[in-house]
């Protein structure tokens, strides 16, 4: 006696798509959970060392005299921060912001040099840096002590 074949009927030849879709969704969930989404870290665009150039000292001095620069010096005396902008003393960060805003309204391409003393907390230096970026200063630099020869 001949057994009836299950493949003779056309309905039994179709592939069930529901389990395949379930597997695809499980793979998708697995890859999303295992992916690492990192926060982009922004670095401060500054140069820490002085550039080495071929020119003489007189040529360097002439280039510096051609352009006016703004120097923000941050000092700490007995736990109190003092700010100097081109040798004009200010007591608070809000005064520094007012002076820099006035300078930025005139010209934003002037070099701005931030010169902190050693005991000044880094957070205060970053506050001045952030403030100058908000005011759209284009060239912000950090002052560096020259290397000592042995």
pLDDT, tens digit (0-9, with 9 covering 90-100), for 106-115 = 888 888 889 8
DSSP state of 13: G
pLDDT at 105 (0 to 100): 83
Of 74, 101, 100, which is closest to residue 89 (Cα–Cα)? 74
Tell me the whole-structure pTM to 2 decimals.
Answer: 0.51
Whether 7 and 13 have beta carbons less than 8 Å apart is answered as yes
129: its two tokens: 């840096």
| SS3 assignment, position 45 | coil
Q: Is 111 part of any domain?
A: yes
Q: Is 91 part of any domain?
A: yes
pLDDT of 36-61, one tens digit each? Answer: 777 666 666 655 555 555 555 544 44
pLDDT of 63-116, one tens digit each? Answer: 434 447 888 888 888 878 888 888 788 878 888 888 888 888 888 888 888 988
Whether 49 and 93 have beta carbons less than 8 Å apart is answered as no
DSSP state of 148: P
Whether 63 and 111 have beta carbons less than 8 Å apart is answered as no
The count of structural domains within the chain is 1
Q: Is 84 part of any domain?
A: yes
For residue 90, give the CATH number of its domain. Answer: 3.30.420.270
Q: Which residue has the tokens 């926060």?
A: 39
């Amino acid at each position: 006696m001949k057994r009836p074949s299950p493949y003779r009927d056309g309905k039994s030849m179709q592939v069930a798509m529901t389990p395949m879709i379930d597997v695809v969704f499980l793979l998708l969930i697995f890859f999303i959970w295992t992916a690492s989404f990192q926060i982009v870290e922004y670095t401060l665009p500054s140069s820490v060392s002085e550039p080495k150039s071929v020119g003489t000292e007189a040529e360097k001095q002439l280039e510096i005299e051609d352009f006016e620069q703004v120097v923000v010096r941050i000092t700490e005396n007995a736990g109190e921060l003092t700010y100097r902008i081109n040798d004009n003393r200010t007591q608070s960060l809000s005064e520094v912001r007012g002076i820099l805003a006035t300078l930025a309204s005139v010209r934003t391409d002037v070099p701005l040099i931030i010169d902190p003393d050693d005991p000044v907390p880094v957070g205060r230096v970053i506050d001045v840096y952030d403030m100058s970026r908000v005011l759209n200063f284009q060239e912000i630099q950090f002052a560096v002590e020259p290397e000592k020869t042995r």
